[in-house]
Amino acid sequence: MARKLYRGSIIDVTFDGAVCQHAAECVRGMPTVFDTTKRPWIDPMQADTAEGAAQLREVVGRCPSGALLIGEHEEHR
Ligand code: SF4
């Protein structure tokens, strides 16, 4: 499965479902952004404040598999 990009207003998140270990650190850590009942299930637009973006970076950093990565805007814009 290819890595997918989910755009936010401050930072983006990419996700590769092929390496996800379903540890649910993301869903537990920031349920407003990671909500498996929604499509798309990752919505970085919910982290649209400096505090939210900082929390999102931290939660993504806890992903044990590397499935989630942060995309800083200057990296691909
Ligand atoms: S934290 Fe990473 S490995 Fe765990 S469910 Fe989320 S994306 Fe998958």
Per-residue pLDDT of the chain (77 residues; tens, 9 = 90+): 699 999 999 999 999 999 999 999 999 999 999 999 999 999 999 999 999 999 999 999 999 999 999 999 986 55
Residue 46 lies in a domain: yes
Parent domain of 64: 28-77
Residue nearest to atom 4 of ligand 1 (CA): 23
Per DSSP, the three-state class of 11 is strand
Reduced DSSP (H G I as helix, E B as strand, rest coil) percent helix, strand, coil of the chain, to 5: 30, 20, 50
Residue 60 lies in a domain: yes
Residue 16 lies in a domain: no
**Residue 53 is encoded by which pair of tokens?**
């973006």
Count up the domains in the chain and report the number. 1
Residue 72 lies in a domain: yes
Residue 13 lies in a domain: no
Which residues surround ligand 1 with Cβ inside 6 Å? 20-26, 63-65, 67-68
Residue 22 lies in a domain: no
